Copies of this chain bind each other. A is one copy, B any other.
């Protein structure tokens, strides 16, 4: 599959690669590769080996090569991968060639932080709508965007081309908001509320629960201290 460069992307009729159904595990790693490539690029590096890039992203180099090969990206044997070309290829696969339009629903502390998080716009996610149900919050101005009544959400989704919804409401409101988003045609949802959302097939939901992450750490912490008596460290090759 040495599809050569060519590529800048977009949706050609010809399938440049199998990109259609990439294993979820691969997709999860692509943003990480992309970030590392950006860092390399800023350092003026223009070619990178799978070994080096793998180290920068914390994965095994064989896996990295296999991932890239599945994307249809290719390197040069004996040399490595072209940093800029690879970054462009990954960005294309991720659909980052056009900016996405994001609405945040729920502007409590977390929602406000998300609204102001520079990492979103830096990576091409334009926050274009803020919505809340609390009259005490509606009307507030956050870095130039005014918080609107969630009743206006559906219309805004249609009129303003919103395609990603970020739910940062309390758990009790999350399903309702998800329904609003889905009915308005949004098919990608990032859910920060601590609950499972029911959505129709075809709608992608990703969930981030900050307390869950801490609980997982708690588990490790707990079992590290339990292990003190046994001292049996299972040696497993640590990358």
| A152 in contact (CB, < 8 A) | no
Q: Report chain B residues within 8 Å CB of A112.
A: 109, 113
> B-facing mask of A179-211, CB < 8 A → 1, else 0?
000000001111000111000011011111111
Task: Give the interface SS of chain A, mostly helix, strand, loop or mixed.
Answer: mixed
- Is the CB–CB distance between A125 and B208 below 8 Å? no
- Is the CB–CB distance between A239 and B30 below 8 Å? no
| A123 in contact (CB, < 8 A) | yes
| A31 in contact (CB, < 8 A) | yes
Q: Report chain B residues within 8 Å CB of A235.
A: 15
Partner of A211, one of B95, B123, B196: B123
| A133 in contact (CB, < 8 A) | no
A174 to B84, CA, bound (A): 25
Q: Report chain B residues within 8 Å CB of A56.
A: 196
A138 to B114, CA, bound (A): 22
A121 to chain B, nearest CB (A): 10
Q: Report chain B residues within 8 Å CB of A159.
A: none
A212 to chain B, nearest CB (A): 4
Q: How many copies does the complex hold?
A: 2
Q: Report chain B residues within 8 Å CB of A238.
A: 4, 13, 201, 206-207
A205 to B228, CA, bound (A): 20
| A154 in contact (CB, < 8 A) | no
| A79 in contact (CB, < 8 A) | no
Q: Report chain B residues within 8 Å CB of A113.
A: 109-110, 112-114
Most central of A55, A57, A210 by chain B CB within 10 Å:
A210
| A17 in contact (CB, < 8 A) | yes
21 contacts between A and B (CB under 8 A): A4-B239, A6-B58, A8-B32, A16-B227, A17-B224, A17-B227, A20-B226, A27-B219, A31-B215, A94-B219, A95-B222, A109-B116, A110-B113, A113-B114, A187-B224, A188-B217, A189-B217, A201-B233, A204-B217, A204-B221, A206-B216
